[in-house]
Structure 1
Amino acid sequence: MPALRAVILDLDDTLFDDGACTRAGLAAVAAGHGISHWAPEELFARHAQHIRDIDPLLFRGEVSAHGARVLRFTRQLTDLGAPQPDGEAATLTYRAAYRGAWTLLDGAPDFLRELRARGLRTAILTNYVREVQREKLSHFGLDQWVDAVLCIEDVPAPKPDPRAYQAACAALAVPPPEAVMVGDSWTNDVEGARAAGLRAIWLHRGGQRAPDPQVPQSDTLAGVLPLLD
């Protein structure tokens, strides 16, 4: 097996705690509309489904990132039974609470610093828009520890399309067999990466075992480091 030269990382729920921030935003929207008959996890699951439904429109350029959010919350409020669903106002409420809850997952800065100390090239590969993802990295100072950031505007197609991982490898000037993809999504960060010729490590914090036992996995970023040796 070729020596490992590069680590490509997902961002949301890999380095950045997107789940916690999303829950904070949804709670603010529900409170602002006096909605209490949906459990938080129901709100989260329905919101995630709306993202999956709307993302193809965003990826094809049929809606802007803001337009996707407005559509998402118009649908979410309709689900919740709001009499006059105002997706624009809900988007502003959500974004303020979401951004106010920004936090990194444990060990993210130390993990990136260690990769740099080992001489490994690093990239962020994310299926979201540049404006938001680069702001997150800059806000926490993580951008100084990565060599490339590829958002949805920077790749020919989103993960799990092989071209996304190939673009990240090209940005780091390494062939796919010399790179590993690390992330929390089995489909986007493991299956897609392996199909493109990269290695993969599944970062799963829920205690679930990997569908394929040959894929190394960890429930912490610190636990990923020994898997790179």
Structure 2
Amino acid sequence: MRLKKDYRYILFDLDRTLWDFDSNARNNIFSLLDKHKVQVSDKSEFFKTYDEINHKLWSQYERGEIKKEDLRWLRFHNAFLHYGIDDRSFATDFGEEYLEEMPNQNILMPHAKEVLKELSERGVKMALISNGFKEVQYRKLRNSGIDGYFSAVMISEEQGVHKPSPVIFKRALKAINGEKSSALMVGDDFANDIEGAMIFGIDQFFYNYKNIPCDGGPTYDSSDLRDLIRPD
């Protein structure tokens, strides 16, 4: 697949688009379970349980239904409950240690750095938009060695607004002096990244690495970030 036009401004999501959230989270949680000798029958099953709970709670957080502080401990407390562990204090400490260690994991999505490097060399201006926690996201960028590619970073917590609100897209594009007609949003989350970009009025690159059936009609639907740099 090749892009239909030459985009001069590209907005990127971070987690699961550039930074391999699932692999990094799994490695981090496995390490913490071992460190604290948590008795779970199967670490992979525990992670699956946690991931489902975390996804639901994140959606509530993005809708403003729960606070950040509650999300940080509830996701682990609720996961531990499935294994007969009902200890809010431990879940809180585990959650804080998880966040502290998370940015030290630095696995990127396939070809992420290669693509960012090529786009940068072509003179494309790039900004990053993330709904993650500010104290974690900046460290992820720095520790994985991709922070230097972005002229602007928009973290929802700092901006007071989450994707898919068009407000955060507008601020990101303005920060790099971009124009809508030459702008592209790249992300893996259809609701937050792709529909948000649609509402804002810029083209969208749905990084569909899980090959999810898609009826929403994004400008591009691809499982390979290298499609962003295919030659004309």
Place the TM-score, normalised by the shorter chain, in its bin: 0.7 to 0.9
Deviations, residues 9-41 of structure 1 (Å, cap 9, x unaligned): 000011100011222234345553202268242
* Secondary structure in structure 1 of the residue aligned to 2:178: coil
**TM-score normalised to structure 2 length:** 0.83
Deviations, residues 126-165 of structure 1 (Å, cap 9, x unaligned): 0112221111111122111111111113434110011111
In structure 2, the residue matched to 1:21 is 24
2:185 is aligned with 1:185: no
* Secondary structure in structure 1 of the residue aligned to 2:60: helix
Query: How far apart are the structure 1 equivalents of 2:55 and 2:157?
Result: 21
Query: How far apart are the structure 1 equivalents of 2:142 and 2:221?
Result: 28
The answer as to whether partners of 1:57 and 1:63 remain within 8 angstroms in 2 is no
Alignment of 1:17-96 (within 5 A): 17-28=20-31, 32-36=37-41, 39=45, 40-57=47-64, 62-64=67-69, 68-85=71-88, 86-95=90-99
Give unmatched runs, 5+ long, in structure 2.
Answer: none
In structure 1, the residue matched to 2:223 is 219
The answer as to whether partners of 1:6 and 1:121 remain within 8 angstroms in 2 is yes
1:49 maps to amino acid: K
The answer as to whether partners of 2:104 and 2:143 remain within 8 angstroms in 1 is no
2:49 maps to amino acid: E
Q: CA 1:144–1:117 in 2, change beyond 3 Å: closer, same or farther?
A: same
In structure 2, the residue matched to 1:139 is 143
In structure 2, the residue matched to 1:168 is 172
- Shift of residue 103, structure 1, vs aligned partner: 0.9
Q: Compare 179-188 and 72-81 and name the one that shifted more.
A: 72-81
Deviations, residues 88-107 of structure 1 (Å, cap 9, x unaligned): 22214534664454311122
Q: Compare 16-25 and 118-127 and name the one that shifted more.
A: 16-25
Query: How far apart are the structure 2 equivalents of 1:128 and 1:209?
Result: 26
Deviations, residues 106-139 of structure 1 (Å, cap 9, x unaligned): 2222211111122211000001122211111111
Query: How far apart are the structure 1 equivalents of 2:123 and 2:189?
Result: 26
- Alignment size in residue pairs: 224
* Secondary structure in structure 1 of the residue aligned to 2:40: coil
2:128 is aligned with 1:124: yes
**TM-score normalised to structure 1 length:** 0.84
Give unmatched runs, 5+ long, in structure 1.
Answer: none
The answer as to whether partners of 1:2 and 1:177 remain within 8 angstroms in 2 is no
Q: Percent identity?
A: 24
Q: CA 1:57–1:26 in 2, change beyond 3 Å: closer, same or farther?
A: farther
- Shift of residue 185, structure 1, vs aligned partner: 0.7
- Shift of residue 200, structure 1, vs aligned partner: 0.3
Q: Compare 73-82 and 121-130 and name the one that shifted more.
A: 73-82
In structure 1, the residue matched to 2:156 is 152
- The equivalent position to 2:214 in structure 1, one of 186, 210, 213, is 210
1:23 maps to amino acid: R
